[in-house]
Amino acid sequence: MSTEDLEKYEAEMELNLYREYRDVVKIFKYVVETDRRFYLCNTVDVRAKSEKGEVFFDVTMSDAWVWDSYRPARFAKNVKVLTFKDVNVEELAGSDFEPPKP
């Protein structure tokens, strides 16, 4: 496999991941960004903890989707992340427009 083939494969995987994100984002309430991953989820709890003078974040999410093109399954019922880095949580704005129901 050439470098060009590998780059094309990775670009296609990233495009497929973006398309999946676009399709699923509307079913989630929160966006959570850590230093290693990007998540969509419906519940999130972030707790700052301290141990031996070090502060870290304990992040718990449920009904989550993980932005990771190398995971065989991106949906997870429960996710727990421990990190010393920043954690960003945003509540997604609900749409003011509701399509008519059949």
Quick: pLDDT tens for 50-85. 989 999 999 999 999 999 988 888 999 999 999 999
Residue 95 parent element (H or E): none
Q: What is the per-residue pLDDT for 96?
A: 47
d(CA 44, CA 75): 15
Question: pLDDT by residue (tens digit) across 2-18?
Answer: 898 888 888 999 999 99
Q: What is the per-residue pLDDT for 102?
A: 52
Answering whether pTM is above 0.95, one says no
- Decide if pLDDT at 99 tops 70: no
| Burial of 32: CB neighbours in 10 Å, binned 0-12, 13-18, 19+ | buried
